[in-house]
Structure 1
Amino acid sequence: MSSDSSPVPSAAAPGLTDEQMVAALAGHLSGHRVVGTRGIGTASAAGGAARPLAELSIDDGKQHFVVTVDLRREPAVSEKELARAAVLCDQEGRKSVICTRVPRDGDALLTLRRPLVPVPGLSWSYALATPSGDRVTVTEWSSAAPVGAAGALPDPPLDLGRLREIVLDPVWIRALTGLPVAAPPEVQQPAAPLGG
């Protein structure tokens, strides 16, 4: 299904409902057997601590995989600050993960993380970050290997090209309309010295 057929927010209620979030992701999973869904729409998340997401479980006949789209809005930053604030891929220090970061359309940043070997419990993800504060992350991960299984898992059902297509679907940016900016994490103050 093309992104043009993805659900669009109505004029009366900006963002997407729980069901529309799931439908937008499911449109990218045609041909796969979906065995479970979960959705938290931007309208549901606007007034509470929940983060908007769409999550679908896929059974490929050998394993269960989960695909999740996670949305959030952060304070706006300059393009320079966006590049500087992001953790550099080559400084992650995890030799089991390949991280690739590329500019997207001149002002956004697209980051790919994938395991060197597809083994149980590791994930494949694309993340889109814009200076305006929009953050979209699509992650696919495997369930634990079934009892008695040996060896590494095969490649995930959705290849990296499909994950990239999902994260770049404009429906997610439209879904973020009206979502409040997330509060920055609280900075822990050092404890006062004893006897002082």
Structure 2
Amino acid sequence: MRENSAQDDRDAFEGGLGVAMKQAGEGFSVAGRPLVDGGVARGRRRAVLRRSAVVTGSVAALAVIGLGGSYVTGNIGASQDGGNGAAVGAQAKEKADRTEKPSGPSTGQQVIRTLEGLLPAGKVSDRTGRGTTGEGEQKDVHAPYASVVYDDGHGKAAVSVSLGRQHPDQKLPEGELSCPDKNLNAFESCSATTLEDGSRLVLFKGWEYPDRRVETKRWYADLLTPEGYRISVTEWNAAAEKDAPVSRPAPPLSSARLKALVRAEEWRPIIASLPDPEQPPLEQPAPQGQNGDVILGRLIKQLPDGLTVKASGGQETEYAYVVVDDGQGKSFVQINVQPDMSDVEGDLFGPDAKVLADGTKATTRQGPGEKGGDGVKMWTVDTIRPDGFRVVISAFNAANQNEAATREAPALTLAEMEKIATSKVWQS
């Protein structure tokens, strides 16, 4: 494999800098964080940040920088069923109790070369990445990653790896390293298991866009070892994560290959060269906001008669949903319960908002669903009390926003939703 020029190194660094910052800021999460969904807005400190359901996020939004191409021969086996994945896992287990002795910080080119060396034989191009230390103003940013475009002869595919490290005693956020809720995020298959060495592994096959507005597939493996080493590999059936045409029916690496790749011991010295993570506090801070299970229970008790709950779920705090059916088809209903929202009241409630007898403001919205499901309608009632306590509820004429409508209108009327949102039970 040829060495890139100094200019190529600079190009790779500049192309990946924004991505590395994004990864560091997101705390290296695959399972994702609360994102835009269902028109539910959440505001803090003069900014309206829209949030509700947990959806699976991309491991790394990686830019594609043209750095030339070459052929590589990988060492994780040539068979499509994963080859020597068991051998790689055994090697990782043998090393589990050993502390690596890194020779020093790893460069972006080292991370790229490691990824290339672990891929099966094929052509590699469009390399970009960063090491365990930054450059210039970003010298304190530690978010190593690599991205390449890989072609095994059946079409180009973007492949990326992200590396991280956390303290072994650090508690994961709820939902981390688990499969997403299929009512919130459509996918082909997903497994979340604890391996024989104590590592947690998620293998996911889905799409870049849950509503499948394009047929770009996104498959990933995400591993957290007992030492706190985090390795995530993501692949697509296109030459880029977004805005690139589908170039092959599926990503090139099978689940077995992905598992072998994330368990490869070659990643360990790179991660070991990251700074030692801080010891987490003995007592983790309690989640802020009303408990999601409590919200779900209260929502179900207030549903109109004649509705059967077919599915339900939510988040640790502030959000819950149900899928109901009145005999005319399934309808997705979601709710956010948020205290201390006075700072965004002016952004969310205009002069035409209805003011109730107790001073609560209420506004309604009717429009298409936000995720592109064919014919999906979304009805929303948004309320805020004088003390800033906000309850917003939305209903859809579909079982979820990613699929086509299953009925003409949502199962709840706007009046029924307003009654739920303004109920005193939320502040009891």
Give the structure-2-normalised TM-score.
0.36
Name the SS of the counterpart of 2:215 in structure 1: coil
Q: Which amino acid aligns with 2:189?
A: I
Q: Which amino acid aligns with 1:36?
A: D
**Separation in 2, partners of 1:134, 1:98:** 25
Aligned to 1:65: 157
Q: 1:25 aligns with which of 115, 131, 143?
A: 115
Q: CA RMSD in A?
A: 3.8
**Separation in 2, partners of 1:142, 1:178:** 32
Relative to structure 1, is the Cα distance of residues 27 and 91 closer, same or farther in structure 2, using a 3 angstrom cutoff? same
**Post-superposition CA distance 1:40-62 (Å, at most 9, x none):** 11244894335101211123556
**Post-superposition CA distance 1:86-115 (Å, at most 9, x none):** 354263532334220111234210100102
Superposition map of 1:6-155 within 5 A: 12-13=103-104, 15-44=105-134, 47-49=139-141, 51-60=143-152, 63-77=155-169, 81-82=171-172, 86=176, 88-89=178-179, 91=181, 93-115=184-206, 120-143=215-238, 144-145=244-245, 153-155=248-250
**Separation in 2, partners of 1:62, 1:69:** 21
- Deviation of 1:190 after TM superposition, in Å, equals 5.0
Higher normalized contact order (CA 8 Å, seq sep 6+, divided by chain length): 1
Q: Which amino acid aligns with 1:101?
A: A
Checking the alignment, whether the CA contact within 8 Å between 2:102 and 2:273 is kept in structure 1 is: no
Q: Which amino acid aligns with 2:245?
A: A
Aligned residues: 180
**Separation in 2, partners of 1:11, 1:58:** 28
Q: Which moved more, 1:166-175 or 1:41-50?
A: 41-50
**Separation in 2, partners of 1:166, 1:63:** 20
Name the SS of the counterpart of 1:176 in structure 2: helix
**Post-superposition CA distance 1:121-167 (Å, at most 9, x none):** 22110000134322110010132326xx9xxx423222222221110
Q: Which amino acid aligns with 2:112?
A: V
Aligned to 1:170: 265
Give the structure-1-normalised TM-score.
0.71
- Deviation of 1:191 after TM superposition, in Å, equals 6.0
Q: Which moved more, 1:166-175 or 1:26-35?
A: 26-35
Q: Which of these two proteins has the greater Rg computed from alpha carbons?
A: 2
**Separation in 2, partners of 1:142, 1:48:** 34
Relative to structure 1, is the Cα distance of residues 90 and 44 closer, same or farther in structure 2, using a 3 angstrom cutoff? closer
Q: Which amino acid aligns with 1:158?
A: L
Q: Which amino acid aligns with 1:40?
A: R
**Separation in 2, partners of 1:36, 1:101:** 31
Checking the alignment, whether the CA contact within 8 Å between 1:82 and 1:131 is kept in structure 2 is: no
Name the SS of the counterpart of 2:274 in structure 1: coil
Q: Which amino acid aligns with 2:130?
A: I
Relative to structure 1, is the Cα distance of residues 63 and 90 closer, same or farther in structure 2, using a 3 angstrom cutoff? same
Checking the alignment, whether the CA contact within 8 Å between 1:16 and 1:41 is kept in structure 2 is: yes
**Separation in 2, partners of 1:28, 1:132:** 22
Aligned to 2:251: 156
Runs of at least 5 residues in structure 2 that lack an aligned partner in the other structure: 1-73, 77-87, 89-99, 239-243, 281-286, 289-338, 346-385, 388-428
Q: Which amino acid aligns with 1:156?
A: P
Relative to structure 1, is the Cα distance of residues 70 and 11 closer, same or farther in structure 2, using a 3 angstrom cutoff? closer
Once the two structures are aligned, what percentage of the paired residues are identical? 26
**Separation in 1, partners of 2:103, 2:179:** 41
**Post-superposition CA distance 1:1-52 (Å, at most 9, x none):** 4479xxxx98541x42222111111112242111211121124489433510
